[in-house]
Amino acid sequence: MATKSVAKSSEGKAKRYMKMKELSEATGVKAHTIRFYISQGILPKPDKPYKNMAYYDEGYIGLIKTIKKFQKEHFLPLEVIKKAIDDLGFDQVPSKEDELTQKLFQAKQLDWVEPTSASHPNTPVNKKALSEISKISPKDLEKCLKAGILIQDENGLFDVQNVKVATLIAQLRQHLCDERGFSFDFIALHNNFFHEMADRQFKYFLTLILKGKLAVPDANELALKCVELLYLVFPLLHRRYLNKKIKESLSIGQK
């Protein structure tokens, strides 16, 4: 295996350098993926003595394995991983992996789910019962499942929250129906928006935790207090913006 030693480490030992093929074989990660990590700043730029020749020291192996571990075990997006690496520095990531792993594990424990109401016990129902209770059409039910709006548990059952969602979707579809030109895509549009918003909110909290600016217990407390307030604030803002658009469209029609 062709290697070269052109520099000394902090301990005085000569660093071993590899070509892309060797690095890919050592990590089990394809070359195009490694190049993508470099282009995004998740990995440092390699040593390039010539335009079409690049060499990678052994530090890349630890970095790449850490990145893949965070992706597979913690399901973290690359932008969050990049933030963690930026905060520590490339050289520190492999040696600080345990510390980062612990923080990420704690972050996964954040309990930001809606509590079940005492007056509405969580009694799971099957698909047939869900359809009968909510009055959702079979077609919309299947589309909700595909879009992730309704979620079955490991036994194929739906909890009380899913029943509530299905009931509201059914009521909404009575007005925003296919006959009036509203396909299910209109519902999916809103679902995608809230999914993205929740993802961004979580990443914001997680970044603060990784930077050490917010402890997990504090994050839990803030989430429990602020989520309900956000639920109250943003529907009001949405209604305001929508009413503004309606008024603007009416004034245009009168000209």
Domain ranges of the chain: 17-107, 112-194
Read off the pLDDT band of 154 (50, 70, 90). Answer: confident
Q: Residues 39-57: what's their mean pLDDT?
A: 87
Judged against a pLDDT cut of 80, whether residue 158 lies above it is answered with yes
CATH topology of domain 112-194: Multidrug-efflux Transporter Regulator; Chain: A; Domain 2 (1.10.1660)
In the predicted structure, residue 223 carries a pLDDT above the cut 90: no
Query: What is residue 68's predicted lDDT score, i.e. its pLDDT?
Result: 84
Summarize pLDDT for 175-188 with one digit per residue, the tens. 999 999 999 999 99
Note the pTM of the prediction, 2 decimals. 0.51
Domain 17-107 has CATH 1.10.1660.10: yes
- Residues 90-114: tens digit of each pLDDT: 877 767 777 766 665 555 555 444 4
36 — pLDDT class (breaks 50, 70, 90): confident
The pLDDT value given to residue 122: 55
Looking at the predicted structure, is the pLDDT value of residue 121 above 80? no
Q: In three state form, how does the secondary structure of the chain look?
A: CCCECCCECCCCCECCEECHHHHHHHHCCCHHHHHHHHHCCCCCCCEEEECCEEEEECHHHHHHHHHHHHHHHHCCCHHHHHHHHHHHCHHHCCCCHHHHHHHHHHHCCCCCCCCCCCCCCCCCECHHHHHHHHCCCHHHHHHHHHHCCCCCCCCCCECHHHHHHHHHHHHHHHHCCHHHCCCCHHHHHHHHHHHHHHHHHHHHHHHHHHCCCCCHHHHHHHHHHHHHHHHHHHHHHHHHHHHHHHHHHHHHHHC
- As a whole number, the mean pLDDT across the chain is 79
